[in-house]
Amino acid sequence: MTEPAATDRSTISGPAPSGPAAGSSAGPADVLSGVRRVRRRDPVPLGAGLLIAVVGCLVLVVMDGSYLGLTVTTGVGYAIVTVGMVLQLGYSRQLAFSQSVFMGVGAYGTGVLETKYNFSSLESLLAVIALAAVAALLVGAVVTRAPGLALALATLILPLFIYQLATFSSWLGSFSGIDGVAPFWTGSDYTATLVQTGIISAVLLGLAAGIVLRVMRSGIGLQLMAMADDERLGESIGVSLRQRRLEVFVLGSVLAAVGGAVLASVQGIVTPDVLSETSEITLLLMVFVAGRKSVTGVILGAIVIEYLTTSTSFISTNLGIIEGIALLVILLVEPDGVAGAIDRLLGRRTDRWAASLQTWSAARLGTRGQAAQGARGGGNGAGNAA
Partner 1 sequence: MSVSYGKFVAVESVTLSVGVGECVAVIGPNGHGKSSMVTAVAGLVRRGGAVRVFGQQLPAGSPGAAVRAGLVLVPERRHLYPELTTRDNIMLGSYSRTRRIGARQAWEDVAGVLDMFPELARLLDQKAGTLSGGQQQMVALARGMAAQPRVLLLDEPCLGLAEAVARRVYDWLGEMTKTDMTILLVEENPVHAVLVADRAVRMYKGLVEQPGVASHE
Partner 2 sequence: MSEFLNLLAAGLTSGAIYGIFGACLAVWFRVCNVLNLAVGDFAMFGAIGSAWLVQTAGLPFIVGIIVVLAGVGLTAWLFDWVVLHTAFDRGAGAHGIVGVFFYTFGLSLVLEGVARAMFGTDVYGAPSIWSGPALHILDFHVQRAGVLVIGLAIVSGLILWAYLRFTVSGRAASACGESVLGSRIVGIDSAKFRRRIFIMTAVLAALFGIVESPITGYTYMSGPTLSLIGVVAAGFAAFRRPGRAVAAGLVIGVAEAMLGGYVSTSYNDVLLYAILFAIIIFRPEVLGLGPEPA
Residues near partner 1 (CB under 8 A): 1-7, 15-18, 372
Q: Which residues contact 146 (CB under 8 A, 6 or more apart)?
A: 154
Coil, helix or strand for 218?
coil
The least distance separating partner 1 from the CB of residue 344, rounded to whole angstroms, comes to 23
Applying CB under 8 A, the span of 30-38, 53-61, 66-74, 318-326 interacting with partner 2 comes to: 318-326
Applying CB under 8 A, the span of 14-22, 78-86, 130-138, 238-246 interacting with partner 2 comes to: 238-246
- Residue type at 52? I
DSSP of 243-275, one letter per residue?
Answer: HHHHHHHHHHHHHHHHHHHHHHHHHSEE-GGGG
Nearer of residues 19 and 187 to partner 1, judged by Cβ: 19
Do you know the residue count of the chain? 386
Site for partner 2 contains 141 (CB under 8 A): no
- Residue type at 303? I
Nearer of residues 184 and 288 to partner 2, judged by Cβ: 288
Site for partner 2 contains 179 (CB under 8 A): no
Q: How far apart are CA 271 and CA 50, in angstroms?
A: 32
The least distance separating partner 1 from the CB of residue 335, rounded to whole angstroms, comes to 22
First-to-last alpha carbon distance for the chain, in angstroms, is 19
Q: Which does 348 bind (CB under 5 to 8 A by kind): partner 1, partner 2, none?
A: none
The least distance separating partner 2 from the CB of residue 142, rounded to whole angstroms, comes to 6
Q: How far apart are CA 74 and CA 63, in angstroms?
A: 13
The least distance separating partner 1 from the CB of residue 372, rounded to whole angstroms, comes to 7
Q: Check: CB of residue 128 under 8 Å from CB of residue 109.
A: yes
The least distance separating partner 1 from the CB of residue 170, rounded to whole angstroms, comes to 50
User: Taking CA 291 as the corner, what is the angle to CA 282 and CA 42, rounded to the nearest 5 degrees?
Assistant: 125
Residues that bind partner 2 (CB under 8 A): 2, 7, 93, 95, 142-150, 152-154, 156-158, 160-161, 164-165, 168, 231-232, 235, 240-242, 277, 281, 288, 317-325, 327-328, 331-333, 335, 385-386
